[in-house]
Every structure is written in structure tokens, then in C-alpha cells.
Chain A
Amino acid sequence: MHTLITHLGIPPEAVGTIPPGISSIQLPAEALPDAAQYLLNIDQSAYLSAIIVQEWEMNFELIYLFTGNEDLCLRINLSMETPLIQSICRLTPAASFYEREAQEMFGIHFIGLDNPANLLLPENEHNHPMRQSHPEKEA
């Protein structure tokens, strides 16, 4: 992790921990492909475990969980108005299904996603049901 912090020039306040002790780094969206590539290159056992999306009051947050010799989360904030980020499915095909799910459920747009079709929802469903604003919330 320390080499990644140096490689990307990450300030100390962007480094944190998610219990029970998984290190996390806050990144700008444009730094993701470089960081993911670097992580996968320096640790030959590292793989993408999950992409977690959550909605805050003012923004979306994406957490990329990498498992390897040392587990690491990359945290990225995206604006509500333009939730746009580069896909990493060409770096690791494991990202493809996670990104498709994030796209249909939250309306995050992944640039360069190999297959933009819905993964879990019917093909004509485009109302992002995991958003807090979705009317089914109270059901």
C-alpha cells in the first residue's frame, strides 16, 4: 500500500481503515485505472473482490475491494449529477459484472464497459432501484 501511496502521491488524510482493519485510500475518479493497474502489477496474487456502491446525501461512493497479500479498498466519490467513471473491466474482467450491477442499480456510468446491458434487472428497466429516491423505498 505504501508504494501505491508514493506512486500516486496520495496525501496522508486520504488514507484510512475500514473495520476490521482493511486499509482504504480515497482517490479522485481519474486516478482509478492507474491505481488498479499498479495494484494488480505489484501483487501477483491480488484480485478484485467487489465493487461496493453507496449513496450519500450529496454524492455516490464506489469502494473497490482488492484482496491479495494485503487487502485494500480504493474509495472514489462521484457527483450525483454526472456519476461517470472509467471502467476497469479491460484490466480485470472480474470488474465487468460488478460494474454492470452498479450501472443498473445506481445509474453509475462506466466508460468503456464491455457489455452495458442490464445484469439482474429486465432489459427495459432503467430506473435504478437502489437509489434512495426510488419510489419503492417505502414498500
Chain B
Amino acid sequence: MSRLVIPIGPQHPILKEPISLKVEVEGENITHVDLQIGFVHRGIEKLVESLNWVQAVPLIERICGICSHVHTTTYCQGVEQLAGIEVPKRALYLRTLMCELERIHSHLLWLGIVGRNIGQEAMFMYAWRDRELVMDVMEAFSGGRVSHQANTIGGVRFDPSPAETAAAQKLLAELESKVVALRNIVEHSESFISRTAGMGVMNRDDIRRYGLLGPVARASGVDFDLRRDRPYSVYPELDFKVIVRREGDVWARAMVRVEETMQSIAICHHIINKLPGGAVSVKAPRRVPVGEVISRTEAPRGEVVYYIRSEGGEHPARVKVRTPTLPTLASFPELLQGVSIADMTVIISGADLCIACADR
């Protein structure tokens, strides 16, 4: 049977961000995949070294347009540890609230994209319509839909009034009923299940070999969530359940994400209900003492790792960013091996790639 190489990307309807796949097929089946990334590499790790500690925050926010807040959270948390800054409790609660709102918006965005890529245009429309509710909450809090500028070293830059948090809770309650409807589609819709069940199956060994993280790992039976297993910020004070499934396919990844969305909505209510009073930030010093730190948080796609080193000056000496999409991309050549070309779309979108994060 003749072999054919199909170039997919860097610009292609199935990709929401640019990567290039050279897919070699024999008949309908994929025999080899060459992957190229770096089309949105901006050299942010290098640029950060020429900025001072506070100037770096808005640049780091621009690593990603979906999980921008979690990047600044991880960075600020690391710098605060290095500088020995005691962040006010209210600031930590508000920071965590934005992280969970971001997880809701990221998971709903992903669900819409998967729906579109499997031919369920209605799911795309509903998921993105419902996502607007959480975008409205984030915008009301921070003033921004994509770049929130909510974090600063020493706390947060927004302080919602009781009326604003009550309005947010009303919107979140409305969103909850809509997410229940979406979960029912994912769980019971024959057309959704038939297109996603058994697709892109990864077992626990695959997950471990490639160091895969977040919902992809939890959909393959890996019971690990940094929020619970390496607790940071105020997560030890919050009640939530880590969602784990064992099927390891795209359907399980969808189930994990919709269940996590429900959990995140509950966490947001919990945070707002116990939101302490007081200041939302403390003044940060211009210079950070000599030292190093590894700061980690659970982003919507899994663990984000920041290594930050200070030489005692006004600038970071090194900021290394490891995002969860990078190991996911590394697994693609093996994951797509032997798969029908028609299923490739489902598997790629099922992984929930964030290329801007991976490229930095």
C-alpha cells in the first residue's frame, strides 16, 4: 500500500494554535508522526531576566491566553516565598478564586472545541455560551477577560465588594445548572460517546513514561492533584474531590473535565462564603534575597512548574517555566501511531493542548 505524507498545520481548522504535524499514512492509518512546535515561541524566559521582579508579572501573564492567571499565581507564589513575604489571607482566597474560575472557563472552552471537532456544533455553541457566564465573573472582578492582571507580588490587585461577590454567586449558580446539562450530554449522549469512547487510550504506564499531568493523567487512573497532594495557598482549607476515571480515553478526559468544572464551581462558592476580610496585598521589596525556589500549582491542564532564582538584585537571575502541554505533545507520535486519520482530530483535541504555554 502506498504511503502518503499529509502536512497538518501550522494553520489548520482542527488546531486552535499553531503546531505542525507531518502525518505519514498507509491507507487510512497513521504510521508515523513528525511534530514541530515553536511557532509562538517568544523567548519569555529570557525576556524576564531583563525586567525587574514586578515588571515580569504582566509578561508572564502573557505566556498563555487561557490560563494566564495560574502563571502569575505560580510566579508570585515563588517570589513571595523567596522574599519571605507574608501574603494576607484575603489575597490568597481571592487568588485561588480566580484560579478556579479560570479552570471552569478553560474546561468549558475545551468542551466546546471537542464538540466542534467531533461534529457536534450544538455542543460547541452551548459550551461557549455558558462559558460567557464565568468570563463575565472574571471580568467583573479583574476588568479583563483574558489578561486579568489580578496578581501582584504580595497579593492581588482586586478587592470585590460583598455586592460583587453576591452577583458572582448568582452567575455561578446559573452556570452550575448549565454544566449539569453539559455533563448529561457527555455522560449519556450516544453520538458523543460513540465518537470519543476508546479513542486515544493511554494506560498508567504511558502516563508515567511521558510524565503526563492533570485531567489527562486523572482520566487514566492516576490519582494525583497538586491541590490535594502538594497543598499550596488556601487549598488545605477547602473541601473538594479529585476526579479520577480509569478508562484512559477521550470520553474519560471529557468526564473528568466536566466533573472538575462542577467541583470548581463548588470551590468558588466555598471561597466566597468564607472570604476573610482585611488587606488584599502587602508592599513587596524591590530586591529579593539570594536564593532559589520551585513553585508549583495545578493549572487547568495539570502541574505548572516554575524554578526561580535570585542573585539578590532587582531582576530574576533565572525563571524556568515548565507547562503541562509539553509532555502531552511529546506523547503524540506514539499516541497517534496506528490510529485512523479520521480519529486523529478527536485525539488531538481531546488532549487539550495549549501551544502558547508549551512554546513560551
The interface of chain A, by Cβ under 8 A from chain B, is 18-20, 22, 44-50, 52-55, 63, 65, 67, 71, 73, 92-94, 96-98, 118-122, 129-130, 134, 136-139
Contact = CB atoms under 8 A, between A and B. Distances in A.
Interface string B280-311: 00000000000111110000000101010100
A18 B293 contact: yes
Contacts of A93: 209-210, 330-331, 334
Contact of B210 (A44, A55, A94): A94
Given A49-B305, A65-B305, 6 more contacts: A19-B82, A50-B305, A53-B320, A67-B211, A92-B209, A134-B46
Contacts of B38: 118-122
A129 B309 contact: no
Interface residues of B, number: 39
Contacts of A73: 294
B208 interface: yes
A97 B292 contact: no
Contacts of A47: 207-211
A138 B50 CA distance: 7
A50 B81 contact: no
A54 to B, nearest CB: 5
Interface in B15-43: 37-38, 41, 43
Contacts of B309: 54
Interface in B309-331: 309, 317-318, 320, 322, 326-327, 329-331
B46 A129 contact: yes
Q: Could you say which of B49, B307, B317 has the most chain A C-beta atoms within 10 Å of its C-beta?
A: B307
A19 B292 contact: yes
A52 B211 contact: no
Question: Majority SS of interface residues in chain B?
Answer: mixed
A101 to B, nearest CB: 8
A56 B131 CA distance: 46
B359 interface: yes
A56 to B, nearest CB: 10
A54 B322 CA distance: 14
A73 B320 CA distance: 15
B209 A52 contact: no
A54 B211 contact: no
B303 A96 contact: no
Given A54-B320, A96-B330, A119-B38, A139 B50 contact: yes
A67 B302 CA distance: 13
Interface string B212-241: 000000000010100000100000000000
Nearest to A130: B46
Nearest to A50: B322
B298 to A, nearest CB: 12
Nearest to A55: B318
B299 to A, nearest CB: 14
A56 B317 CA distance: 10
B201 to A, nearest CB: 17
B159 interface: no
B330 A136 contact: no
Contacts of A45: 208, 222, 224
A97 B329 contact: yes
B292 A92 contact: no
B336 to A, nearest CB: 14
A44 B222 CA distance: 12
Contacts of B360: 120
B247 interface: no
B293 A20 contact: yes
Nearest to A97: B330
Contacts of A22: 294
Given A19-B292, A19-B294, A50 B43 contact: no
Interface in B46-63: 46, 49-50
B211 A137 contact: no
A120 B38 CA distance: 4
Contacts of B292: 18-19
Contacts of B318: 54-55
Interface in B113-144: none
A94 B206 CA distance: 10
A139 B51 CA distance: 11
B81 A19 contact: yes
B45 interface: yes
A49 B322 contact: yes
Nearest to A54: B318
9 contacts: A18-B292, A49-B211, A52-B307, A55-B318, A67-B303, A94-B330, A98-B326, A119-B37, A120-B359
